[in-house]
């Protein structure tokens, strides 16, 4: 019995140390009554105009469900906090008018109006379309301290934000194309 407890504890330790795991336990967002955790986000038209705040269920899916919905590349980036190779993403040199949404849940994240060519090989924006729609976390992986940017509604990893961006914010939201889905302006 004691040996079994030790084995379970060791397994839990390994899981907890695996930085590739989605940070949020998929069961955590669901409370005892089966109700999903709510989140307030801003709805945005395809021209980037804010339509107002809405309170919606947080999007929570199992690993298997995510894998069914996403390509391998999208899963690796959005759910395992991966980074696509520079200059390979489909939105790096993409300058049509419209809104970039989350690949995981469709939440509007960035407007083409704030997109610029940072020269880094990743789609870059100087601000999100609505602060309410993103979350930021400190990321200490790879011996660096960076600010990770995530989707507020489904916790998908989007990229990082740096302070070497252009005016008016001075911020550079360095995103992965794999985490985004573009909706052209109507």
Smaller CB separation from Zn ion, 63 or 93:
63
Across the beta sheet with 180-184, what order do the strands follow? 108-111, 98-102, 180-184
CA distances from 146 to 51, 140, 141, 162 (A): 31, 6, 8, 8
Cβ contact 130:152 at 8 Å: no
Task: Based on the residue annotation, tell me whether 174 is a catalytic residue of this protein.
Answer: yes
Least distance CB 170 / Zn ion (angstroms): 26
CB of 26 to Zn ion, least distance (A): 14
Tell me the backbone φ, ψ of residue 123, rounded to 5 degrees: -60, 130
- Closest of 57, 65, 93, 84 to residue 158, by C-alpha: 84
- Residue number with CB closer to Zn ion (70 or 102): 102
Shorter beta-carbon distance to Zn ion: residue 114 or 156 = 156
Nearest CB to Zn ion, comparing residues 112 and 156: 156
Shortest distance in whole angstroms from residue 63 CB to Zn ion: 16
Would you state the torsion angle of the CA atoms of residues 112, 181, 152, 99, taken in this order, to the nearest 10 degrees?
30
Note the residues at the interface with Zn ion (CB under 5 A). Answer: 102, 104-105, 107, 151, 153-154, 156
- Which residues make Cβ contacts (< 8 Å) with residue 161, sequence separation at least 6? 136, 147, 149, 171, 172, 173, 174
- Distance CA(65)–CA(61), nearest Å, equals 6
In whole angstroms, how close is the CB of 9 to Zn ion at the nearest point?
34
Catalytic residues: 174
């Amino acid at each position: 019995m004691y040996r079994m407890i030790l084995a379970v504890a060791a397994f839990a330790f390994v899981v907890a140390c695996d930085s590739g795991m989605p940070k949020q336990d998929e069961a955590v967002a669901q409370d005892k009554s089966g109700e999903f955790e709510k989140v307030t986000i801003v709805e945005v038209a395809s021209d980037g105009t804010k339509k107002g705040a809405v309170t919606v269920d947080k999007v929570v899916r199992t690993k298997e469900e995510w894998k069914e919905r996403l390509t391998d590349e999208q899963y690796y980036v959005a759910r395992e906090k991966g980074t696509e190779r520079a200059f390979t993403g489909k939105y790096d040199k993409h300058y049509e008018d419209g809104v970039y949404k989350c690949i995981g849940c469709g939440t509007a994240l960035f407007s083409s109006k704030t997109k610029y060519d940072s020269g880094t090989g990743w789609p870059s924006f100087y601000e999100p379309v609505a602060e309410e729609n993103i979350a930021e976390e400190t990321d200490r992986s790879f011996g660096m301290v960076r600010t990770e940017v995530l989707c507020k509604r489904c916790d998908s990893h989007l990229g990082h934000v740096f302070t070497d961006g252009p005016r008016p914010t001075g911020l550079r939201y360095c995103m992965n194309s794999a985490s985004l889905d573009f909706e052209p302006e109507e």
